[in-house]
Structure 1
């Protein structure tokens, strides 16, 4: 990738900013464009920008993202905006002859009751988790389009499936955040406000796998440089923890000593979600950042950098 023009679509979001940090070590020409200057949901605008910029490699990290609550409230926006972003970039990349493209999926698009650990072949073998169905459908469309262009036209387009992510530039807005930043914020607020309890959505029994976003960025660069198959590939840590155990871990990191109350009337989401990342591990990559260390670093960064500086939505 050295010397190549590399476009990180969605460079200001959590994944995009991690890719920016990682790509600085590659001595490539990193290209970016802001939301204000380019609306990726508009095909003509996207095509015009790409024709002018002429990227040689593309990481598609642009997306509208959010937690269970946001997905449930805004299904139309989650489906339409994410589908348009992916279709516009991938189609134009094929027309322009972009050398390499990496499309980022999400493990939440696998079937709700997929056999664990989840292999890449599980995609589209069962019903989706209803709370994020719209987002999942959009992501599946993008992954399938990238694969279709690879198989039909010989494009070097690859797709990766990250597990649940957390880390620098995470979203701490409780209306849109995922579980780790949401729990950090809730427990921090409770501690400094001297409240004696924190409510956690669901029963606490579902299990999840987490990966630090800097590990994901490293894996994406690793695959962009050496992986050529159009077959989807998982990116995960191979380690899982229950939401209840995670809540107590975060409470310990933050030194919150109150009660943790699990609200069983709120949705749990999928009962378990662990990726089979053996294909990636056989290629020679594995994660480096342990979960507790990553949470400690994230909490310290959020607490010392000013809370509002990390409260943002990850729109393209």
Structure 2
């Protein structure tokens, strides 16, 4: 596996994140109203600076339209970032860095809004570590200071944060999301109690995974589990919510969630390939030493 091939997987992963979010923003919704309709935060500004009552601001169709236009504008930013992530090359990396960087910062802000919407649960923020972290990793991969060991460590940290945080919800440390339970019931046909028990075990495995990927002797096995589980949990979004009566609508409503979650499985795969790439030169060097004729003793 060459550097170009591993970088291609990284570029595809970042593209999927940005394209999925672009799809969401252009056709559906995003939690920006959790900020713009926060009365405790914005009321003093709206009434003091703009001389408008909060009731008038919050119920205004114009306000809602401005927010909606802002969401769509952000969708176009994500779309440009998605195209840039595929187009970026070493020769023209500076040209595409800015859209990717802006898109990455926007993902961090989006994650903060989702965290606010979920009562500031820390796990809600760190569960998206791969999604807002990979664009920055892509930019780092084009840096002259790139070191494969550091790249692997960064990716492992993103994986650990993502899976551990996901596990906190599945385990029940935070209230188990009804969406998790519903997907498990629809896919496997479990009862609600069995679905919760299944998620409990899955959460424990997420915790174990977050530790094992840092242990050299077992890291590959843990990473392969992360590949499989990451891809399955991404695909579950559309499998659990697909209806044959409305196939196109089902895809349109749910595929974007699959797209920006697929990197949860692709990132561990990228680490596996990077580890193999890193170990290749060491094996060749060791073989060269073994094949070299013994040095003659000078007397």
| TM superposition score normalised by structure 2 | 0.25
Q: Who wins on radius of gyration, i.e. which is larger?
A: 2
Structure having the higher helix fraction is 2
Structure having the higher strand fraction is 1
